[in-house]
Structure 1
């Protein structure tokens, strides 16, 4: 990892991007399996900006697909900021093993789920629930946890 990405902001952007790509890809695969559309769950996320009509969109569009992708990406960067601040500085020792960063990622992701589905108004949920099963939601949040921890594990492996 170079000097530019070794600071808190750089780590947050990398972790958030990995988590965002992981969740978007996982949601897309679940969408294909459950709705025959890779983009249905991504589009559904844009209900935050465009209302419930977004959850009925199956095809690619700048309005729904790009908005949904960017909203998800912003959310994963937000959660990565929490992970990098609360967990990663304490998980930096090689002697720490995998337990702390993995459990930290699981805890942050659990907090994201509780926030997304129990604390924020329905208009600000990820929207995946409008097109996907609860099982798929669990897999998507699992992908987010893996995405959050991936940067730190890769860095430790290189050192």
Structure 2
């Protein structure tokens, strides 16, 4: 199960961060703003305005995202169980995105949200969660 947990975290983080970078560019923003906004918990909401990659904003944003993915991967791994059947895996995967979004934006103090609302629309944030979940599912499947 540790291999699955690691793979879900790694690939989920890659797909999530790739979505953040790509969507920022699609919006006409700097790619860095897509990951920098996640550093708002440490440096404040102005993190979303930083257009360059740097350790303080980008490093913090990416590291925070990886930590959050590890957190969600633990729950994902537990929900999947030891040998999930196809139906269980699909249902758990489909539930993860909405559950994570609700927890991140309704149950978490604003200071500790992902910060994506500082840069993206709700629809784009949904795409980021979808990319995250797809990556986690791919990682879990590859680890089997």
Q: Which TM-score tier does this pair reach, normalised by the shorter chain?
A: over 0.9
Deviation of residue 90 (structure 1)?
4.4
2:53 matched to which residue of 1?
Answer: 60
Query: Hey, which bits of structure 1, 4+ residues long, moved more than 6 A?
Result: none
Greater relative contact order, per chain length (Cα 8 Å cut-off, separation 6+): 2
User: In 2, distance between residues paired with 1:34 and 1:134?
Assistant: 13
RMSD after superposition: 1.4
Q: Larger Rg: 1 or 2? A: 1
Q: Is this contact kept in 2: 1:19–1:148, CA < 8 A?
A: yes
1:10 matched to which residue of 2?
Answer: 3
User: In 2, distance between residues paired with 1:150 and 1:18?
Assistant: 7
The 3-state SS of whatever aligns with 1:46 is: helix
Q: Number of matched residues?
A: 144
More displaced 10-residue stretch of structure 1: 41-50 or 107-116: 107-116
Relative distance call for 1:108 and 1:90 in structure 2 (3 A) is farther
- Unmatched runs of 5 consecutive residues or more in structure 2: none
TM-score for both structures, normalised by structure 2: 0.92
User: In 1, distance between residues paired with 2:46 and 2:57?
Assistant: 10
In the alignment, is residue 134 of structure 1 matched against residue 127 of structure 2? Answer: no
Q: Is this contact kept in 2: 1:31–1:40, CA < 8 A?
A: yes
More displaced 10-residue stretch of structure 1: 66-75 or 13-22: 13-22
TM-score for both structures, normalised by structure 1: 0.84
Deviation of residue 136 (structure 1)?
0.9
2:38 matched to which residue of 1?
Answer: 45
Deviation of residue 88 (structure 1)?
4.2
